[in-house]
Amino acid sequence: MDCISKVPDFMTNTQCTQLDGRKPVRVWVDGCFDLVHFGHANALRQAKALGDQLIVGVHSDEEVKFHKGPPVFTEQERYRLIRAIKWVDEVVEAAPYVT
């Protein structure tokens, strides 16, 4: 999976022209996002405010089990939950768990 996307894959031509010739700022956040709550949504809202695009990495079930124990939601459910949050522009599935 290619984790680096090109700007046109993300932004419409109108959005690109609104950047006044500068490169878009892409913000990365990752986590397991099991049992999503207000704190998760608030963190994503604040992250989106730091740039033009918010890319969220969601850890796989395997990574979550290894580092935190068995997840409540499956990774597919967690991907859908994060995609449904209005500040999220892209979800990277099976993001690496980096400490």
Residue 14 lies in a domain: no
Q: What angle do CA 92, 1, 72 make, to 5 degrees?
A: 40
Domain that holds residue 78: 23-93
The reported pTM is 0.79
Residue 5 lies in a domain: no
Residue 50 lies in a domain: yes
pLDDT of residue 58 exceeding 80: yes
pLDDT at position 4 is 43
What total number of domains does the chain contain?
A: 1
pLDDT at position 37 is 96
> How confident is the model over 20-55, as pLDDT tens digits?
788 999 999 999 999 999 999 999 999 999 999 999
Residue 99 lies in a domain: no
pLDDT at position 39 is 97
- CATH number, residue 87: 3.40.50.620
Residue 2 lies in a domain: no
